[in-house]
Amino acid sequence: MDYGFVDCHGHISAPEFQQGLPDVIHRTRQAGVKTLVAVTEGMEEFSRVLHLQERYLDLVAPCLGLHPLQAAGGQRSVQPPDLEEALPLFYNLRERLVAVGEIGLDFTPWCAPTQQDRDDQMKVFIGQLDVAMEMDLPVNVHCSQSHQRHHETAREIQRIPLDHICLETDSPARGLHRNVSRSPTFLRTDAETTVLFLPPSA
């Protein structure tokens, strides 16, 4: 059997990767990554991620989803009309998807300042969970851990069976090194770091 890594959550359709994409893909394969689960944040990204699936059929596994924060029209909370507009695409493209995502909640004060914003995010999150259930697809929910919770996270990792751990780079999001944009090639280092936290018997 041909083993390899799966990057469970990355933004390969992000503008940061547009330039030099063939090189990123080449280095990703060299790092041993066999599947890139490619999430979207907004509708404007849907066609790009599907195009990447056509171009790298053996590597890119697309998800469609509306992130709680939408970049279109300035940084704002997602709203129910956004989901209404996206819904037909979810259903039409069902056969090409591996999950619904990136979805979730983000109550960063300057992006979701009002109760209305938070209620809208919740409605869209629940709406997408319903769609995923209806289409029998998993969801890709992103939860960013703050630096202070690092040790807590490490303790939690030790309680999880090895075959239940999924790794993701969330590339091109920046990690602990704020000046370095991540790419899917970081998955190998992430895997090596995770192994350090595992109990010796795992």
The two counts, helices (H) then strands (E), for the chain are: 6, 7
Cβ at position 180, least distance to Zn ion in Å: 16
Instruction: Give the residue with the Cβ less far from Zn ion, 72 or 195.
Output: 72
For 38-89, give the DSSP string: E--SSGGGHHHHHHHHHHTTTTEEEEE---SEE-TTSSEE--HHHHHHHHHH
Cβ at position 9, least distance to Zn ion in Å: 6
The mark string for 53-72 relative to Zn ion (x by CB under 5 A, - otherwise) is --------------------
Does 170 contact Zn ion by CB under 5 A? yes
76 residue type, one letter:
R
Residue pair 83/121 in contact by the 8 Å Cβ criterion: no
Tell me how far CA of residue 33 lies from CA of 74, 96, 98, 177, in angstroms: 34, 20, 17, 22
The mark string for 120-159 relative to Zn ion (x by CB under 5 A, - otherwise) is ----------------------x-----------------
Instruction: Give the residue with the Cβ less far from Zn ion, 25 or 141.
Output: 141
Instruction: Give the residue with the Cβ less far from Zn ion, 45 or 170.
Output: 170
Does 182 contact Zn ion by CB under 5 A? no
Residue pair 72/42 in contact by the 8 Å Cβ criterion: yes
Does 106 contact Zn ion by CB under 5 A? no
Cβ at position 200, least distance to Zn ion in Å: 32
Residue 115: CB atoms within 10 A of its CB come to 8
Q: Which residues bind Zn ion (CB under 5 A)?
A: 102, 142, 170
